[in-house]
Every structure is written in C-alpha cells, then in structure tokens.
Structure 1
Amino acid sequence: MSSCESCLVRNRAICSALSQTEVNALNTIGRHRHLEPGQSLIWEDEDSILVANVVEGVLKLSTGTEDGREQIVGVVYPSDFIGRPFGGKTGHSVTALTESKVCVFGRRDFDEFARNHPALEHKLLERTLGELERTRRWMLLLGRKSASEKIATFLLDMSERLVDPTCQSADDGALSRFELPFSRQQVADVLGLTIETVSRQLTRLKSEGVIDLPSRREIVIRDRAELSAQAG
C-alpha cells in the first residue's frame, strides 16, 4: 500500500490517533482497494474477515428482509470506519454507491494491532459511541417524524457529510450544493416512504424556495434555517 502520508483522510480517520511511527506500522498490514458503484466489500451474515477505512466515495450499509427486499440501514463517507473488529459475523452488507476507494485490513491483523496500540482502541470506542448516537437519532427519524420532517432531516444530514467547502457561497454560508448518491427510490427506501412522497416533498421545498433542484440528484439548500425548522 502507498504511504499513509498522502492519505486524504489521514487526519480524520481512526489512524489520526497514532504517531507517525505507528501509522507506518499500520501501513504494512493494509492495502488500497477500488470499488465500482454496486460492488460489495462485505456481505451480511458472513464471518468478519476484514475492516476498512473509507478514503473516497460513499457506501451503503444494507440488510435483507425475509421477503427478499433490501433495507438500507446506514451510509458511510470518507474517513468512516467499516467492518466489525474483534470477531463475530457482519450484521449488514457494505456496497459502494459511488466509485470508492477504501483502505482494507485483514480483521485478525487489525485486531492484534489495535490490542497493542491503546490509542487506536480508544478511537474505535469513540467511533462506536458516535455511531450509537447516530443510530438513536435515526430511530427517532424513522419512528416519530412526519414525511416532511424526514425529508428535511435527510437533506441536512447529507449536506453536512457531502458538501465541498469550496462550493459554499461567499455571500451566504448557508448555501449548500451537493449531489445525492441515492436514487429517489433509494431515498424512499431509507426513510420508509414511497417514491411519490419523496418527489412531492422535494417539489414542495423547491416551490417554497427552501431548496433548488438543478437536476434529478443535485440539491442546493437556499434557506438552511427554514430547512432546519421543517426538520423539527
């Protein structure tokens, strides 16, 4: 694997807790892997054999229902950690939504390295607690919020994770432009809505001047304060 010094997420990923010497040691057990959209890295219910840092791209976490349908249960972005360290089976599949690059480690090698480097174990614990908090917010989103609140919350979350700071307007820092890595049907599946409801809510937000829709997947947030209010 190429040197970690040039890694795009070096200062944000779990390895940010390590010294340069420790990073160099971690570098020896990892490798980069490129994924095309639709290509899976981890499969649900299989033994945990690898873990990874996301370097570029967006990936979905999904699980299958008894009747064969797919349910998207989460999304990961650059600097996020995926996989289950310290044994067990994976609870969901991990599949690229966009062209992606991940830094992959054999799970056993990573486990041994983590045990010998408490700072990395501490970072893993922080990430796990953060993921637990996001899961609790997601439960509120799916269980209690209305369709309009779900869409508004979803757009705010996407903007926080996907917006390139160079695309921010110099005159209005609240203006955000990003491209959804989901189709509208996938947005509907994620939020437990119908595709008609998703389209109707997006159209309503556009007509109210809260967002703009330059293309089917591109979103521009024009009034973040109002979108936050509608998110509840």
Structure 2
Amino acid sequence: MTAHQTVPPATVQCDYCVVRHKAICAALSEQELSDFNRIARQRKIPAGRTITNTGDAAIAFANIISGVIKLTKTLPDGRQQIVGLQFPPDFLGRIFAEESPYNAEAATDVVLCAFPRDGFEAMLRRYPGLEHRLFQNTLDELDAAREWMLLLGRKSAREKVATFLHMIARRAGALGCSHVPDMNQARFTLPLTRSDTADYLGLTLETVSRQITNLKKNGIIELTDTREIVVPDMAALEEAAGE
C-alpha cells in the first residue's frame, strides 16, 4: 500500500467509525483504542485505483471501512485472476510479510483505516487481544477459501452465480447498501462488472449473463439496472445457490 495511491489522509475518529465493533480493533479497550488512533489514518481511494501490486513492500495495513476491494494474481503471461474479494470490516495486508503477495484494487470507491506496518506490529506484540482477533480473522478467511473451493469444483453455473449474489446480499449492510425492512429481502449494487464476475466464478461472460437472466425470469432476483439487484426472498436465492 503506497502513499501516492491515496488522497491525503485524515485523522481517524474511532468513536464514530462504522466498523468500530466489527473490525479487528473491536478487541481493544478505550485506552488501547486511543493508542491505535494515534497511528491510524483514513484514506479514500476511487474505484479502479490500484492499492498495492504483487511484490510491493508491505509498509502499511488497513481495515476496510466502506467499499469493496478485489485481490488478483498475475500469471507469467500477463493474465490476471481474481482470487478474492474483501468487504467491510475485512483486514487488508499480510502481517509480518516483507512484500505484498497479491494485487489489490478498489472495485468500488473505498475508504480505509490505514496504519503503518511498524506501528501496527508493535501494537500486536503489546496487546494480545488484537493479535487473537487478527488470528481469528485469518481462520475465517481460510474457512471462506475452502467454501470457495467447493463452489469452483462442484457447483453448477446457476449455483455459482446464485452463491455469488447471496454472498453479496449477506454483506450488503457492511457495504453501505440498503436492506429492505424484511430481513429476508435485500437490495444492493454489484461491486464487480459481469466480466469480472465471470473471471471470479470461472465462467464465461455469456454464461454469467444467461444465469442472471434466468434467475430474474424465475423471480429469484429483480434488476433495476445492470448492476442494481433486489432479492425479494433470500431463502429462494439460498436454495438456488445449493446451500
């Protein structure tokens, strides 16, 4: 994460942070949070901007406050594969690594709570609760990766697309999107283009478009435009996902 890739930082106000009780800093006491606030800076990154490239020096980490980040790996021939998506309140960066292991790009406008590597790693040593929370996040990411292996290896095209939409719908609140009062419904904006969605799911663009159209015809989703999705019945979407 390099300084020239973001707008000038603003001092963080932890008390007003929307992910205060969800991010790794939820493990901190008020005094510990005050120490954390001294090293944290808020950064705003526009959609499409690169945050870090594979091999960049790991000089900073961040909590995601709003927006979506896509993680990619580049093959020797220049092709890229989306290997992950990060949402609020996920943690961006690889602790104790010298270099970034992936490319990170803002899929939407993103707000980060960023902190320098040296200061953050010192806090990890000082506050065991923070280290434990980070370890738990790592295990959660491992579980999610295993679930994604199941999707890529065993699910049909329809199930893959439905699973992707279900995942976005479940995290719509953290994305700053609106939920319908009935918690079995959701409304959100897709953070990826259909081309990127196809890349992420290991499908062709035509297949993704066809499956989205089929889900719409079956009344499982509604489209207000190409990227605005309404889910009238989350249970029906979950069933379509093969969950």
Taking structure 1 as the reference length, the TM-score comes to 0.94
CA deviation digits over 1:44-94, x for unaligned, max 9? 122321110111111111111222122111111121111011233221111
Q: What is the distance in 1 between the residues matched to 2:45 and 2:156?
A: 35
Q: What is the distance in 2 between the residues matched to 1:201 and 1:5?
A: 43
- Secondary structure at the aligned position of 1:227 is classed as helix
Instruction: Return the offset for 1:223.
Output: 2.9
Partners of 1:180 and 1:219 within 8 A in 2:
yes
Q: What is the distance in 2 between the residues matched to 1:60 and 1:47?
A: 19
Q: Greater CA deviation, 17-26 or 39-48?
A: 39-48
Q: What is the distance in 1 between the residues matched to 2:93 and 2:109?
A: 19
**Aligned residues: CA RMSD:** 1.4
Whether 1:206 and 2:220 are equivalent positions in the alignment is no
Q: What is the distance in 2 between the residues matched to 1:5 and 1:41?
A: 26
- Secondary structure at the aligned position of 1:181 is classed as coil
Identity within the alignment, %? 44
**What's 2:155 paired with?**
145
Whether 1:217 and 2:227 are equivalent positions in the alignment is yes
- Secondary structure at the aligned position of 2:203 is classed as coil
Gaps of 5+ in 2: 1-10
Aligned residues, how many?
230
Instruction: Return the offset for 1:201.
Output: 0.3
Partners of 1:42 and 1:83 within 8 A in 2:
no
Gaps of 5+ in 1: none
| Equivalent of residue 52 in structure 1, options 48, 57, 62 | 62
Q: Greater CA deviation, 1-10 or 150-159?
A: 1-10
Q: What is the distance in 2 between the residues matched to 1:121 and 1:224?
A: 35
How does 1:62-101 map onto structure 2 within 5 Å? Answer: 62-101=72-111
Q: What is the distance in 2 between the residues matched to 1:30 and 1:43?
A: 22
Whether 1:119 and 2:129 are equivalent positions in the alignment is yes
Q: Greater CA deviation, 84-93 or 121-130?
A: 84-93
Taking structure 2 as the reference length, the TM-score comes to 0.90
Partners of 1:55 and 1:78 within 8 A in 2:
yes
- Secondary structure at the aligned position of 2:22 is classed as coil
